[in-house]
Structure 1
Amino acid sequence: MLAAVDGFGRQGKREQTVARWGVVATGGIAARFTQDVQALDGSEVVAVASRGEASAKTFADRFGIPRAYGSWAGLFADPEVDVVYVATPHSAHRAAAGAALEAGKPVLCEKPFTLNSREAEELVALARERGLFLMEAMWTYCNPVVRRLVELVRDGAIGELRSIQADFGAEGPFAPDHRMRAPELGGGALLDLGVYPVSFAQLLLGEPARIQADAQLSPEGVDVNTGVLLGWENGAVAVLTCGLDGSSGTRATVTGTHGRIDVPEGFFSPDSFVLHRRGVDAPETVRVHSPLHGMQHEAAEVAACLAAGRTESSLVPLSGTLAVLRTLDAVRERVGVRYPQDEAR
Structure 2
Amino acid sequence: MTPALLPASRVPESRDAPTLRWGIMGPGWIAERFTESVQAHTGQVITAVGSRSLSRSKAFAETFNVPVAYGSYEELAAAPDVDIVYVCTPHTAHHASAVVAIDAGKHVLIEKPLGLNSHQARDIASRAETAGVFAAEAMWTFFLPKFDVIRQLLEAGTLGTITTVVAEYGEHFDPSHRIFNPELAGGPLLDLGTYPLALVTQVLGSPLRLHALGQPHESGVNAQVSAIMTFDGGAQATVNTHLHNFTPTAATIVGTKATLVIEGPFNMPGAFEVRFPEGTRLRYDEAAAGHFEGLHYEAAAVARTIAEGGLQAGQRMLADSISTLEVADEIRRQLGIVFPGETGKLVQPTPIL
Q: Same fold (TM over 0.5)?
A: yes
Instruction: Note the C-alpha offset of 1:186.
Output: 1.0
Task: Provide the rounded CA distance (Å) in 2 between the counterparts of 1:46 and 1:172.
Answer: 32
Tell me what 1:215 maps to.
214
SS in 2 for 1:316: coil
Check the 8 A contact 1:180/1:189 in 2, yes or no. Answer: yes
Distance 1:13-1:49 versus aligned 2 partners, 3 A rule: closer
Q: Distance in 1 between matches of 2:284 and 2:181?
A: 41
- Alpha carbons 1:184, 1:341 under 8 Å: kept: no
Q: How does 1:94-133 map to 2 (within 5 A)?
A: 94-133=95-134
Give 1:132-171 correspondences, 5 Å limit: 132-171=133-172
Cα distance, 1:3 vs structure 2: 5.6
Residue 153 (structure 1) shift: 2.1
Letter in 1 for 2:336: G
Q: Which moved more, 1:150-159 or 1:217-226?
A: 217-226
Q: Does 2:225 correspond to 1:226?
A: yes
Residue number in structure 2 paired with 1:294: 294
Identity %: 34
For the residue of structure 1 that corresponds to 2:283, the secondary structure is strand
| Cα distance in structure 2, aligned partners of 1:224 and 1:276 | 34
Counterparts of 2:186 and 2:41, CA distance in 1: 32
Task: Report the alpha carbon displacement of residue 269 of structure 1 after superposing the two structures with TM.
Answer: 1.6
SS in 2 for 1:39: helix
* Displacement after TM superposition at 1:288 (Å): 6.6
Q: CA deviation at 1:233?
A: 1.3
Q: Compared with structure 1, are the counterparts of its residues 4 and 277 closer, same or farther at alpha carbon in structure 2 (3 Å cutoff)? A: closer
3-state SS of paired residue (1:212): strand
Deviations 1:281-311, CA, capped at 9 Å, x for gaps: 341211479xx94111110111011101111
Superposed CA offset, 1:72-127 (max 9, x none): 11111111111000111111101111100011100000001111111111111111
Would the aligned equivalents of 1:49 and 1:70 in 2 still touch at CA under 8 Å? yes
Structure 2: how far apart are the matches of 1:333 and 1:242? 17
Amino acid in the other structure paired with 1:28: W
Tell me the equivalent position of 1:40: 41
1:314 aligned partner, one-letter code: G
- SS of 2:193's partner is helix
For the residue of structure 1 that corresponds to 2:341, the secondary structure is helix
1:18 equivalent in structure 2: 19
Task: Report if aligned partners of 2:50, 2:71 keep a CA contact under 8 Å in 1.
Answer: yes
Residue 94 of structure 2: aligned partner: 93
Distance 1:2 1:57 in 2: 54
> Which residue number corresponds to residue 252 of structure 1?
251
What one-letter code is carried by the residue in structure 1 that aligns with 2:283? Answer: T
Residue number in structure 1 paired with 2:335: 335
Note the C-alpha offset of 1:41: 3.2
Question: How far off is 1:184 after superposition?
Answer: 2.5
User: Take 1:65 and 1:7, find their aligned partners in 2: how far apart are those partners?
Assistant: 33
1:56 has 2:65 as partner: no
CA 1:51–1:2: 2 relative to 1, 3 Å? farther
For 1:285, give the aligned amino acid. Answer: R
Preserved contact between residue 8 and residue 149 of structure 2 (Cα < 8 Å):
no
Q: Take 1:332 and 1:220, find their aligned partners in 2: how far apart are those partners? A: 17
* Unpaired segments ≥5 residues, structure 2: 347-353
Is this contact kept in 1: 2:6–2:282, CA < 8 A?
no
Q: Is the 2:92–2:340 Cα contact (8 Å) retained in structure 1? A: no
Distance in 2 (CA, whole Å) between partners of 1:341 and 1:236 is 35
Contact 2:9 2:148 in 1 (8 A): no
1:324 is displaced (CA, Å) by 0.6
TM-fit CA distance, 1:215: 0.6
Q: Tell me how far apart the structure 2 counterparts of residues 325 and 167 of structure 1 sit (CA, whole Å).
A: 17
Shift of the alpha carbon at 1:220? Answer: 4.9
Query: Which is worse superposed, 20-29 or 333-342?
Result: 333-342
In structure 2, how many angstroms separate the alpha carbons of the residues matched to 1:32 and 1:68?
Answer: 18
Q: Does 1:8 align with 2:10?
A: yes
Structure 2 partner of 1:276:
275
Quote how far apart the aligned CAs of 1:38 are: 1.0
Q: Give the distance between the partners of 1:48 and 1:250, measured in 2 at CA.
A: 32
Counterpart-to-counterpart distance in 2, 1:172 and 1:182: 12
Match of 1:28 in 2: 29
Please give the root-mean-square deviation of Cα atoms over the aligned residues, in Å. Answer: 2.1
Q: Distance in 1 between matches of 2:8 and 2:214?
A: 41
- Count of residue pairs brought into register by the alignment: 338
Could you tell me which runs of 5 or more consecutive residues in structure 1 were left unpaired when the two chains were aligned: none
Q: Which residue of 2 aligns with 1:188?
A: 187
SS state of the match for residue 48, structure 1? strand
Counterpart code for 1:122: D
